[in-house]
Homo-oligomer: A and B are copies of this chain.
Amino acid sequence: MTKIRVGVLGARGRVGSQVVGAVEAAADLDLVAAVDAGDALEELTAGKAEVVVDFTHPDVVMDNLRFLTGNGIHAVVGTSGFDQDRLDTVAGWLEGRPELGVLIAPNFALGAVLAMRFAQQAARFYESAEVVELHHNRKADAPSGTAAHTARLIAQARAEAGLGPGPDATTSELDGARGAEVDGVRVHSVRLPGLVAHEEILFGAEGETLTIRHDSMDRSSFLPGVLLAVRSLAGRPGLTVGLEHLLDL
């Protein structure tokens, strides 16, 4: 078996160092360069990297991507801070390189991505949907970005299917009991020490409910998604935004 030659950018960071370990542990991947601030990007070309994983910083990720696309290296990017301008710029760099792929994803946890996808698929079959997300008590925002995004996807799928608001007979409510409303979908945020990051999506129709739950127990939960991206990016040229597009669901 020919191994895929992988480089890591941000290799000494909290996330990047876990990627380094996971690449080293994978039988079908070969770690050829582990680069961080202060190292030369040329280590990646010297190591003949075919795919590079970038968990760095918004300040440097565009320079990294210009280098990678300029040298014909696929990129898997978990660094944040991409707006439409930046996406357009990256797409421009990919023009005339029909074989080259860049994946930019805000969330590499496969379970979170699958849960959102299934929620989208299920939404039009149910009269109502609500989202409950549960996180440790050090989280600053409520609801979580993932839960808000899930609610918007559900709302969109409902709208496309011609569904109006779910039935709700509440006439007497203690302020906040029914949660926050995101595009008409109720979202509830539980905060407790001991929790990590959990999301539950509930659908209800006459006589039955369907629940999709994702439990992230550990920060390492993004690793399987990163490795899946590394392995499938060669067959997916162009700019891809969001891991879900690599899952062939």
* Residues of A near any B CB (own CB < 8 A): 109-111, 114-115, 117-118, 121-122, 125-130, 132, 134, 137-143, 148, 166-182, 186-196, 202-224, 228, 247, 249
State which of B117, B137, B166 has its C-beta within 8 Å of the C-beta of A169: B137
How near does chain B come to A163, taking the closest CB pair, in angstroms? 13
Contact A190 B132 (CB under 8 A): yes
State which of B128, B170, B186 has its C-beta within 8 Å of the C-beta of A139: B170
Contacts of A137 in B (CB 8 A): 127-128, 166-169, 204
Contacts of A214 in B (CB 8 A): 208-211
How near does chain B come to A30, taking the closest CB pair, in angstroms? 20
Decide: A142 near B172, CB < 8 A? Known: A128-B192, A130-B192, A137-B167.
yes
Give 23 A-B contacts (CB < 8 Å), ordered by A residue.
A110-B125, A114-B122, A118-B118, A118-B121, A125-B228, A130-B190, A142-B170, A170-B189, A170-B191, A174-B180, A178-B189, A179-B190, A188-B188, A192-B203, A193-B205, A194-B221, A195-B204, A205-B224, A207-B217, A207-B219, A207-B221, A208-B217, A210-B213
Contact B177 A206 (CB under 8 A): no
**Identical chains in the assembly:** 4
Contact B194 A205 (CB under 8 A): yes
Contacts of A203 in B (CB 8 A): 111, 192
Q: Which has the most chain B C-beta neighbours within 10 Å: A115, A191, A220?
A: A191
Contacts of A178 in B (CB 8 A): 142, 176, 189, 191
How near does chain B come to A140, taking the closest CB pair, in angstroms? 5
Contacts of A174 in B (CB 8 A): 142-143, 148, 180, 182, 187
How near does chain B come to A245, taking the closest CB pair, in angstroms? 14
CA distance A173 to B133 in the complex (A): 13
Smallest CB gap from A247: residue in B: B125
CA distance A132 to B179 in the complex (A): 11
Decide: A204 near B192, CB < 8 A? Known: A121-B118, A121-B249, A137-B169.
yes
